[in-house]
Amino acid sequence: MNRIPVALGDRSYDVVIEAGLLSRAADYLAPLARGRTTAIVTDENVRRHLATVQTALSAAGVESEAIVLPPGESTKSWAQLEALTDRLLALGVERNDHVIALGGGVIGDLVGFACAILKRGCRFVQMPTTLLAQVDSSVGGKTAINARAGKNLIGAFHQPSLVLIDPDTLDTLPERQVRAGYAEVVKYGLIDDPDFFTWCEENGVRLLAGDAQARAYAIAHSVAAKARIVAEDERETSGKRALLNLGHTFGHALEAEAGFSDELLHGEAVAAGMALAFAFSADKALAPAEDAARVARHLAGSGLPVDASSAGITASGQTLTAHMLHDKKMEAGTLPFLLARGIGRTYLDREVDLASVAAFLDSTRGAA
Q: Which residues are catalytic?
A: 120, 142, 184, 226, 236, 241, 245, 248, 252, 266
**Is residue 266 a contact point for ligand GLY (CB under 6 A)?**
no
> Smallest distance, Å, CB 248 to ligand GLY?
8
How many residues bind ligand GLY (CB under 6 A)? The answer is 6
Q: Based on the number of CB atoms within 10 Å of its own CB, is 65 exposed (0-12), middle (13-18) or buried (19 or more)? A: middle
Selected from 76, 98, 142, 221, the binder of ligand GLY by CB under 6 A is 142
CA distance 32 to 29: 5
Stretch that binds ligand GLY, among 46-54, 136-144, 151-159, 343-351 (CB under 6 A): 136-144
Binding mask 153-182 for ligand GLY (x = CB under 6 A): ------------------------------
The residue (of 241 and 323) whose beta carbon lies closer to ligand GLY is: 241
Alpha-carbon distances, residue 351 vs 93, 331, 338, 354 (angstroms): 47, 12, 11, 9
> Footprint of ligand GLY on residues 223-252 (CB under 6 A)?
241, 244
Q: Based on the number of CB atoms within 10 Å of its own CB, is 161 exposed (0-12), middle (13-18) or buried (19 or more)? A: middle
The residue (of 136 and 168) whose beta carbon lies closer to ligand GLY is: 136
The residue (of 161 and 319) whose beta carbon lies closer to ligand GLY is: 161
The conformation of residue 334, written as its DSSP 8-state character, comes to B
Which amino acid is residue 94, in one-letter code? E
> Smallest distance, Å, CB 229 to ligand GLY?
8
* Contact between residue 63 and residue 56 where contact means Cβ atoms under 8 Å apart: no
**Is residue 136 a contact point for ligand GLY (CB under 6 A)?**
yes
Length of the chain in terms of residues written: 368
> Smallest distance, Å, CB 85 to ligand GLY?
23
Q: How many CA atoms lie within 13 A of 300 on its CB side?
A: 13
Q: Based on the number of CB atoms within 10 Å of its own CB, is 350 exposed (0-12), middle (13-18) or buried (19 or more)? A: exposed
Q: How many CA atoms lie within 13 A of 190 on its CB side?
A: 33
> Smallest distance, Å, CB 244 to ligand GLY?
4
> Smallest distance, Å, CB 304 to ligand GLY?
17
Residues paired with residue 107 on neighbouring β-strands, in sequence order: none
Stretch that binds ligand GLY, among 22-30, 56-64, 84-92, 135-143 (CB under 6 A): 135-143
Stretch that binds ligand GLY, among 51-59, 132-140, 198-206, 295-303 (CB under 6 A): 132-140
Closest residue to ligand GLY using C-beta atoms: 244
Of 27, 343, 364, 11, nearest to 190 by C-alpha is: 343
**Is residue 140 a contact point for ligand GLY (CB under 6 A)?**
yes
Stretch that binds ligand GLY, among 121-129, 137-145, 289-297, 330-338 (CB under 6 A): 137-145
Helix (H) or strand (E) holding 164: strand 162-165
DSSP letters, 234-289, are TTS-SSTGGGGGTTHHHHHHHHHHTTSSTTS-HHHHHHHHHHHHHHHHHHTTSS-H
> Smallest distance, Å, CB 54 to ligand GLY?
29
> Smallest distance, Å, CB 232 to ligand GLY?
12
**Mutual angle of helices 194-208 and 212-232, in 10-degree steps:** 140
Q: What CA dihedral angle connects 274, 278, 279 and 285, to 10 degrees?
A: 160
Binding mask 92-131 for ligand GLY (x = CB under 6 A): ----------------------------------------
Residues that bind ligand GLY (CB under 6 A): 136-137, 140, 142, 241, 244
